[in-house]
Amino acid sequence: MAEAERVIGTPDVDDDEAAAPAEQPKGKRRLAVLFAVALVAYLLDLGSKMLVVAKLEGHDAIEVIGGLLQFRAIRNPGAAFGMGEAYTVVFTVIASTVVLVIARLARKLYSLPWAFALGLLLGGALGNLTDRIFRSPGVFRGAVVDFIAPAHFAVFNLADSAVVCGGILIVVLSFRGLDPDGTVHKD
C-alpha cells in the first residue's frame, strides 16, 4: 500500500488515529454550560414574574418567614433600592451592553467556573432587560417586577439574585487567579 502524502507542517497521523472521532473542543462545552445556566436563570426569573403578576399584583403581601421575608409585588423603574427612576433607558442600555460583552467574551471561554458565573450574569441581565423592553409604561422604559422582600432590605427578583451571585463568583474567580480562558496566574 502506498504511503499517504503529508502536507508540510501537519502532524503525522496513523490510520487508526484518523478513523477515531475528533474530540469536541473544551470551549464548545463551556459555551453550552454558559447558555444552559443563562437559560435556566432566565426561565426561572420569567416564570416567577409571570406568576407574581398573575397572582400577587394588587393583593396583600404573603408572609413567607414571619416578619423576615415576604413576597410583595412592586414595579421598579429604577435600579437597586429604587434609585435612578428617571434613568430607566440608561439601565436598559447597560443591560444590553452586559449581554453583548458576555457574548464577545464567550468566544474565548475555556473555564467551567467562568462559564457558570457568566451564565448567571447573562440570564439575570436578560431577565431584567425583558422587563425593561416589554413591560409598561413602554419600550425601553418598562418597570422591573420585584417581589422578594426581606425585612429591612430592598425588594428584588430572581434576575437580581442571578446577577449578584454571578458577580460574586466572578470576583472570587478573579481573586483566585482563574481567567476566563482557563489560565491560572499568581499575582
Mean pLDDT for each consecutive 10-residue tract of the chain (187 residues)? 48 48 59 96 98 95 92 86 70 86 88 96 95 88 93 94 96 94 82
pLDDT at 140: 79
Residue 114 and residue 173 in contact, taking contact as beta carbons nearer than 8 Å: yes
Q: Find the domain containing 49 and state its range.
A: 26-175
150 is a domain residue: yes
pTM of the model: 0.80
Strand, helix or coil at 171? helix
Q: Residue 45 falls within a domain, yes or no?
A: yes
Say how far apart CA 69 and CA 15 lie, in whole Å.
Answer: 65
Residue 48 lies in a domain: yes
- In-domain check, residue 114: yes
In a domain, 107, yes or no: yes
In a domain, 18, yes or no: no
How confident is the model at residue 77, as a pLDDT? 84
Could you tell me if residue 9 is inside a domain? Answer: no
Amino acid letter, 12: D
Neighbouring residues of 132: CB distance < 8 A, sequence distance ≥ 6: 88, 91, 92, 95, 140, 141, 142, 144
| Residue 34: inside a domain | yes
Please state the domain count of the chain.
1
Q: Would strands 69-76 and 144-150 be described as parallel, antiparallel, or unpaired?
A: antiparallel
Q: Collapsing DSSP states into helix, strand and coil, what is residue 75?
A: strand
Catalytic residue numbers? 146, 160
pLDDT at 56: 95
pLDDT at 82: 66
Q: Is 33 helix (H, G, I), strand (E, B) or coil?
A: helix
